[in-house]
Amino acid sequence: MKAQYARAALTAAALALLAAPAQAQTTLQLVEVITSPQRTEVLRGMVDQFEAAHQGVTVEITSLPWGQAFEKLATMVQGGQIPDVVEMPDRWLALYANNDQLVDLGSYMENWDDADALNERTVTFGSIVDDTMYMIPYGFYLRAMFWNKKLFEQAGLAGPPETMDDFMAASAKISELDGKFGYCLRGGPGGANGYIMMMLNMMGHDDYFDEQGNSNLDDPEAIKGLQFLIDLYQNGYAPKDSVNWGFNEIVAGFYSGTCAMLDQDPDALIAIAERMPAEDFAVAPMPLGPAGKSFPTIGYAGWSMFEASEHKDEAWALIAHLSSPESNLEWSKFVGVIPIHEGAEQDPAFATEQYAGWFTELNDDRWQPTSMPTYLEEFGYFADVVVVQSGQEALLGERTAEDVANEWAEYLSAAQQKWLAAQ
């Protein structure tokens, strides 16, 4: 009889356990768009730390290849597969923010202990659209010139180019070496920065528009900047297939010794430092234009939250974790960006010859880092589709520099005038 009561009690207990509500489990979707296996591994490690501190929250990471990321994320969002948190490049921010798809993070930051440690640049760029904090940048990408010391020595060159004329001359000299080229041209995905920098350098200023909203990219001097890159490519100072090169190809072209110069952000150091001894290369500031100035592009990416998220508090907690001084310093060292917190640049990891060019650009008035007009919602498509297609046509001699520059100016003028009308 006692055994029967015991079995009945156990059965009742089991039924009660089954009837009890399970512990709530939240799954966050995080989309990464500037990807590599090593980079994703570092991100996964930071997310693992977050999950350990937030029991009941799981984060699933989706990594989109950069070359197709713009279209793939847009397709996901349009199809209702909207992530909670996304790695948001600066050039896409306005598109999603102006369509009311991103959360204003300002109210969350009011109660965030680490908010006061963010440097001024971070707050300014994170709120570049409507003065609203739609993103917390995780670091800044600033262009500077990598140069191969051995190839320069073999070509009889004493140091990196100081001016654009020097840059063309050095490219020609190095290209005389058997199987070598002066410059790793980026004609494929992400090539917009290279074209824009050369156009601004030749203009001598970075005023993208006049007061009426007309783009200055069709200025005769700007067209000379575009022609500069076309001439460099058509003269054989860059590999023939570089017309299609994206980030991975240009970086590989540099560390393999195929070409002696590469303009890139600090993130290129990841792969280069793994494959080249530190004494074989350095980073110099971008060459100066005829006016004695240079306009290296400064870009950024960061963490944004989609308005469609059903787990906003948890999504904010994830963004706060990824943006903490400890996490951001770890991320910056690996990814290769200028950190977002006050004083982080004093870390010994950034006090090397390889970082010298970037800090020259930040501290010398001859270099004026320029942010492209990413506040225009049409800019993402312009940079990632329009410029790549028409730029390749120009490099291949299918269109003139003037024709392409006029197309770019017309596109941007329409976008700027639309933006001005809405203000």
Report DSSP state, residue 382: I
Sign of CA dihedral 87, 92, 94, 97: negative
The DSSP bridge partners found for residue 178 are none
Interstrand relation of 181-183 and 57-63 (parallel, antiparallel or unpaired): unpaired
Q: Report phi then psi at 71, rounded to 5.
A: -70, -40
Q: Please check whether residue 296 is in contact with residue 286, taking contact to mean a CB–CB distance below 8 angstroms.
A: yes
**H or E element: which one contains 62?**
strand 57-63
Other CB atoms within 10 A of residue 324 CB? 19
Q: How far is CA 93 from the centre of its chain?
A: 12
Q: What is the DSSP string of 73-119?
A: HHHHHHTT---SEEEEEHHHHHHHHTTT-B---HHHHTT-TTGGGB-
Per-residue CA distances from 166 to 130, 204, 290 (Å): 41, 17, 11
Predicted local distance difference test score (pLDDT) of residue 11: 45
Residue 11 exposed, middle or buried by CB count within 10 Å (0-12, 13-18, 19+): exposed
What token pair was written down for 56? 């009941």
User: Cα angle vertex 338, ends 132, 115, to 5°?
Assistant: 40
User: Cα angle vertex 212, ends 210, 215, to 5°?
Assistant: 45
CATH of 26-140+300-353, one of 3.40.50.300, 1.10.1740.10, 3.10.20.340, 3.40.190.10: 3.40.190.10
- Alpha carbon dihedral 117, 121, 122, 128, in 10-degree steps, equals 140
Domain spanning 144-295+376-422, CATH architecture: 3-Layer(aba) Sandwich (3.40)
Interstrand relation of 57-63 and 85-89 (parallel, antiparallel or unpaired): unpaired
Predicted local distance difference test score (pLDDT) of residue 266: 87
Other CB atoms within 10 A of residue 175 CB? 21
**H or E element: which one contains 10?**
helix 2-19
- Tell me where in the chain the CATH 3.40.190.10 domain(s) lie: 26-140+300-353, 144-295+376-422
3-class DSSP state of 168: helix
Helix axes 66-78, 90-97, angle to 10 degrees: 10
Give per-10-residue mean pLDDT for the chain (423 aa): 42 42 78 90 96 96 90 95 96 92 97 93 90 95 95 97 98 98 96 96 97 98 98 98 96 98 90 92 96 94 97 98 95 86 80 81 88 90 95 98 98 97 90
Nearest Cα neighbor of 412 from 370, 368, 380, 369 is 380
Other CB atoms within 10 A of residue 278 CB? 11
3-class DSSP state of 138: strand
The DSSP bridge partners found for residue 55 are none
Q: How far apart are CA 168 and CA 161, in angstroms?
A: 9
Predicted local distance difference test score (pLDDT) of residue 336: 81
Q: How far apart are CA 1 and CA 8, in angstroms?
A: 11
Predicted local distance difference test score (pLDDT) of residue 161: 98
Secondary-structure breakdown of the chain: helix, strand, coil percentages, each rounded to the nearest 5: 50, 15, 35
